[in-house]
Structure 1
Amino acid sequence: MHQKLLKSAHYIELGSYQYWPVLVPRGIRLYTFEQIPVSLKDNPYITDGYRAYLPSRLCIKSLFILSNETVNIWSHLLGFFLFFTLGIYDMTSVLPSASASREDFVICSICLFCFQVCMLCSVGYHLFSCHRSEKTCRRWMALDYAGISIGILGCYVSGVFYAFYCNNYWRQVYLITVLAMILAVFFAQIHPNYLTQQWQRLRSIIFCSVSGYGVIPTLHWVWLNGGIGAPIVQDFAPRVIVMYVIALLAFLFYISKVPERYFPESGMKNQGISCHITWHPTWTECTI
């Protein structure tokens, strides 16, 4: 009987173990928080609607089912198409009509490309976070963090380039500094503990520091242009402030786990799946 079960079993990676066979549904099923692997247990307030134990083919297929990652996947995917469309529109209509220089085309292209990479990396992570290989999940998580860094770089490149358009020295100083910070974040991801739960707070501090660094060139730009009373400062400074307020609110929602903290039962229902786990030295049985 055990041999027959093992022939139809899938193989997944469980923590430090190499490969363990596990009998899982051949189709896509949704699980509760208690049934999913430890690597997926990031938010205890989301109680069900989890995808798990899926091969790559079914991960892609799960793009079209309703789960607790549906909004994350499609919001970033639509964001990618938005920036892609804006890129085509800007390159073919806006910039030519404004008699933009070659530098303007390059900076605009870099900015929008960084945003598109950020969106696609997030799509990949949320889509493949349910992969049966924990190593694959962590690789996509690393790409997601790398994408966030690239998105931040896109914001800085365009902002610094035009804020210090008439001051080539400070433009180079801030661009080099930002690039060095982004590269430092990339190298930090090499550390084996970077993606663990223990380093979650450190990761948040790193990204907040990289994002908050923008306050320094902003204040410098305000000072170079005559202070807050200058017309150009009054035109553009509120937009920068609004951008940082939105980013701060998004971060607060993320770390406080709102609104799911107050509506823990509002996730996807489990669709009647019951999973009985029977441990054995060489196999794990999961009955549906």
Structure 2
Amino acid sequence: MSSHKGSVVAQGNGTPASNRENDTVELAELGPLLEEKGKRTIANPTKTEDEQTCPVPQEEEEEVRVLTLPLQAHHAMEKMEEFVYKVWEGRWRVIPYDVLPDWLKDNDYLLHGHRPPMPSFRACFKSIFRIHTETGNIWTHLLGFVLFLFLGILTMLRPNMYFMAPLQEKVVFGMFFLGAVLCLSFSWLFHTVYCHSEKVSRTFSKLDYSGIALLIMGSFVPWLYYSFYCSPQPRLIYLSIVCVLGISAIIVAQWDRFATPKHRQTRAVPVSSDFPRLGGSSSLRPLLWGLQPAGIPLWPGRWLY
């Protein structure tokens, strides 16, 4: 019975036993793979959960927002300042003389229509197209500057056949046009930007008076050249005197002590006093001196001496 049962059991369980052995072998071989797969399957849900619940991207976004907020505020402030500046620059109004600061009170006879202090060269140059106390000064000197610049270039480009002594005469006329161009350019720039600030006003005021002296010096050159065309010695003497007086006027104009509106008349002394001693009524002396050898009577000019 026992042997029969064992056979029966062996016969009944033969196939399953072999299958079990095969299954155990396969499981043993596939064990590491299954474990790795299981780890992967176990790890993947955590990854997905971490990806779903990971706060790192949010922190980065918050950091980006925190960084961009000051930049946006800075740009907004710049745009606001630019807007306010443009509004102030385009809508300034003329003010009366009493409201002006001391460094802008140059002419107490003009009671209304003055520009306010404008610390911007752009605003100063835009004021050229507005009506105020300096509009006439700016445009008359600016148009004169353009005119004399054009005439000077035209004269220098003329052929030599139009001159008796081409080199000398071109130098003579060049000195005249150079003085006129410098004087007019300094003048219209001064009247344009003198309301910028006290420092700019004083600097261009010095250039303005220096330009006047240069114009007077340059205008005497052709006058003396043709008055003493045949007398080089007196011509040199008069030219030297003119140069000395002109340089002295420029030096006086550069002193800060005389750059204030208080000393406006003092600054005008070298221009209105020293030069007329040679120029003005006394400027006829070179002409009379030059005409004397020609036999022309000089009695009308005796009172000038």
Give the TM bin, normalised by the shorter chain: 0.5 to 0.7
Number of the residue aligned with 1:171: 235
Q: Which residue of 2 aligns with 1:183?
A: 247
Q: Report Cα offsets for 1:208-259 as digits up to 9, x if no partner.
A: 123312254531431342289739xx9xx9xxx9xxxxxxxxxxxxxxxxxx
Letter in 2 for 1:160: L
* 1:221 aligned counterpart, secondary structure: helix
Structure-2 change in CA distance of 1:196 and 1:228 (3 Å): farther
Q: Tell me if structure 1 keeps the 8 A contact 2:94–2:113.
A: yes
Normalising by structure 1, we get a TM-score of 0.66
Change (3 A) 1:99 1:163: closer
Distance 2:161 2:141 in 1: 29
Residue 38 of structure 1 deviates from its aligned partner by 1.5
Whether 1:193 and 2:193 are equivalent positions in the alignment is no
Q: Give 1:78's aligned amino acid.
A: L
1:90 to 155, 158, 163: 155
Tell me the percent identity: 31
Q: Check the 8 A contact 2:202/2:260 in 1, yes or no.
A: no
Larger radius of gyration: 2
Q: Which amino acid aligns with 2:291?
A: N
Which has the higher mean CA deviation after the structures are superposed, 57-66 or 94-103? 94-103
Given candidates 151, 159, 168, the residue that maps to 2:215 is 151
Counterpart code for 2:171: V
State the Cα distance separating 1:45 from its structure 2 match. Answer: 2.9
In terms of mean alpha carbon deviation, does 96-105 or 134-143 score higher?
Answer: 96-105
Q: How does 1:50-129 map to 2 (within 5 A)?
A: 50-54=114-118, 55-93=120-158, 96-98=161-163, 100-129=165-194
* 2:111 counterpart SS class: coil
Is residue 221 from structure 1 mapped to residue 284 from structure 2 by the alignment? Answer: no
Larger RCO, structures 1/2 (Cα 8 Å, 6+ apart): 1
State the one-letter code of the partner of 1:178: V
Aligned partner letter, 1:83 = F
SS at match of 1:226: helix
Q: Residues 220 and 102 (structure 1 numbering): CA distance in 2 closer, same or farther, change over 3 Å?
A: closer
Distance 1:51 1:199 in 2: 22
The residue aligned with 1:278 is: none
SS in 2 for 1:193: helix
Aligned match of 1:14? none
Q: How many residues are matched?
A: 215
> TM-score, normalization: structure 2?
0.62
Residue 115 of structure 1, CA deviation:
0.2
**How far apart, in 1, do the equivalents of 2:191 and 2:122 lie?**
15
| 1:160 and 1:217 in contact (8 A); partners too | no
Secondary structure class of the residue paired with 2:122: helix
Contact kept, 8 Å, 2:114 with 2:133, in 1: the verdict is yes
Q: Which moved more, 1:222-231 or 1:167-176?
A: 222-231
Q: What's the RMSD between the two structures over aligned residues?
A: 3.1
2:102 alignment partner AA: V
- 8 Å contact 2:206–2:254 — kept in the other structure? no
Q: Shift of the alpha carbon at 1:155?
A: 0.9
Q: Does 1:48 align with 2:120?
A: no
Gaps of at least 5 residues in structure 1 are 9-23, 242-288
Alignment partner, residue 29 of structure 2: none
Q: Closer, same or farther in 2 for the Cα pair 1:165/1:140, shift >3 Å?
A: same
Is the contact made by 1:30 and 1:49 (CA closer than 8 Å) also made in structure 2?
yes
Structure 2: gaps spanning 5 or more residues: 1-76, 82-86
Kept in 1: contact 2:103–2:261 (CA 8 A): no
